[in-house]
Amino acid sequence: MIYFDYAATTPVDKRVIKSMIPFLNEKFGNPSSMHSFSSDTKKALEKSRSIIAKAIKANPEEIVFTSSATESNNMALKGIAFAKKSGHILVSSIEHDCVLNAAKWLGKNGFEVEFLPVDKYGIVDPKEVEKRIKKNTILVSVMHVNNEVGTIQPIEAIGKICKKNNIYFHSDAAQSFSKTPINITNIDLLTISSQKIYGPKGAAALFIKDGVKIEPLLHGGGQERGLRSSTENVPAIVGFAKATEIAISTMDKEQERLTKLRDKIIEKLTKEVPNCYLNGHKTKRISNNINVRFSHIEGEAILFMLNSYGIAVSTASACSSPKLEPSHVLSAMGLKQEEAHGSIRISLGRMTKESEVNYLLKVLPEVVKKLRDISPHK
């Protein structure tokens, strides 16, 4: 199988696995214990915190470890909302389901929630954010990079607007962390994840800027400075830190390599396959994402036929792909239902070879032609 679904999850790097092994057997102590068995795990936990903080130019005490980006996003939105007790929240209409559903839940529980529109490329206009801010706005949440179409949002401009208006700004950076630079100067809360950067599942973090007050979602033994009780998953956190070190050290070179492969795929498909169109912005997109639509055929049919050729792609976010309704991201961008249903996402990664891209570019046009030949929607 050839894997083109790195936006969903990534394989764990062998160097990451090696770093984790000692903490799965001999160094097993609970980092909150007081005896010598815990000293190694406590040191490893805090070293990992420092490594991840350094990657975004934050202070170690501003990093709170969680189990997933979903938990981090829920912690950010609900934590701010519960601390403020009331108010108006602005969320972009193309957020990951975990942000959208957390916001909708808050809307059912006393908070005023409003969803920001996007343009045809899936980009939020900072002027629209400023226009919709109210006197009681407490939080704005706009993701850095969209998980489906790969568009890069103008979070620096949005962050400046929030700072000027004394409003907290949260950004979900699960898709961008270690793939493109992130400036946290005007960001109050930032979500990052291990499984998107060749680290293990079960580890993520929320950057909470010093001075930002949030209410914890979990209550217990008071781990993570009382903000996230639960015994820390030290092996996964150590792996997360090692994955961060590797990804940050290779970011510029890898970004250049993947951008060339990305552009090769976009150019070949949109020029040589009839009625093939790019979803999202051509240049304001993350280096590893290609989202394209094909008229008159279903994206799921393309996915299944590619799978029979040994190629793995996706039709939407992995968290929402089993649903029958069209992608909320593509719908928010103004695509018709049939256009959204004819879309696939191809996402590249560290193990992607040019020979694999060439194979995809040979097979995919043939698959599209076969499906169109039998399609009733001509």
CA contacts within 13 A on the Cβ side of 130? 11
Contact between residue 319 and residue 139 where contact means Cβ atoms under 8 Å apart: no
Catalytic residue among 98, 162, 276, 319: 319
Amino acid at 333: M
CA 163, 127, 109 angle in degrees (round to 5)?
A: 65
Crossing angle of helices 234-272 and 39-55, in 10° steps, is: 30
Q: Respond yes or no: is residue 162 known to be catalytic.
A: no
Tell whether the torsion through CA atoms of 24, 16, 224 and 101 is positive or negative: negative
CA torsion 41-47-51-57 (nearest 10°) is: 130
Detail the DSSP E strand segments found in 235-348.
276-278, 289-294, 311-312, 343-347
| Region of residue 334 (phi > 0: left; psi between -120 and 50: alpha; otherwise: beta) | left
Residues annotated as part of the active site: 319
